[in-house]
Amino acid sequence: MRLLPRRTRSPDRLLRDALERVNAHAARAGGSPTDVQLLGQVSISGDWPQIREYWTRRAGLTGSWPNRVGSSEVILNLWPISPGHLQLTTGVGAKPQKRQPQKLLGTPALACFDPMQSRTSADEALARTVASWVDDVLAHDEFRGGLRLAPPILEEWASKGRLVSRRVLTFGLEWPLAAADGLTWPPSA
């Protein structure tokens, strides 16, 4: 999905609406909801070929992913993982494929955007991608028993596997699951 400039709804409003849909679905499902932590990884375009190749070989999830991205574009991969397992999904200084999650709980999402042209921040891209992911998994009934979400985590990666930042984003909303602790990078002083 290519993110185009869109300012119709704020990121917190998009996520508030998505959480309402998730909660309504869980109430209707009446089953045992799956706990999901969404991890957004923002990578530079130079890492894209390795990420795409890794997921094509591993899971074949890349049919709708672009083969190439523009040199100034960044890629946001959204991975649904188990809460509390982030330490197992990333490797600081590692090749792009080494920082990918080992186990996914559902279909991932992808967004490409050029922060200079669209004036889209990584935070806004994460909010829009989470909202789109919610619509997709609910439409395809991927979580038949419902799901409960933790506030998403955003990692921003630079060249040579340098983790620039990792943070939990609540967007000022109440999430069904607690925010992950001890994940902020760089660590607070």
Which residues are CB-contacts of 189 (< 8 A; sequence separation ≥ 6)?
A: none
Q: How confident is the model at residue 87 (pLDDT cuts 50, 70, 90)?
A: low
Give the tens place of pLDDT for each residue, 15-65.
999 999 999 999 998 889 999 999 999 999 998 888 888 888 887 777 788
Q: How confident is the model at residue 7 (pLDDT cuts 50, 70, 90)?
A: low
Three-class secondary structure assignment of 98-137: HHCCCCCCCCCEEEEECHHHHCCCHHHHHHHHHHHHHHHH
- Is a pLDDT exceeding 70 seen at residue 189? no
The domains of the chain are located at 37-61+72-106+113-168
Contact 133, 97 (CB under 8 A): no
Contact 186, 32 (CB under 8 A): no
- Is a pLDDT exceeding 80 seen at residue 88? no
Give the tens place of pLDDT for each residue, 118-176.
678 899 999 999 999 999 999 999 999 999 999 999 999 888 778 888 999 999 999 99
Query: What is the structure's pLDDT at 168?
Result: 92
Query: What is the structure's pLDDT at 102?
Result: 81
| Over residues 92-114, mean pLDDT | 82
Query: What is the structure's pLDDT at 156?
Result: 92
Query: What is the structure's pLDDT at 11?
Result: 83
Question: What is the distance, to the nearest Å, from the Cα of residue 120 to the centroid of all Cα atoms in its chain?
Answer: 15
Q: Supply 58's token pair.
A: 């591993």
Contact 37, 150 (CB under 8 A): yes
Cis peptide before 186 (omega within 30 of 0): yes
| Over residues 63-76, mean pLDDT | 89
Query: What is the structure's pLDDT at 59?
Result: 72
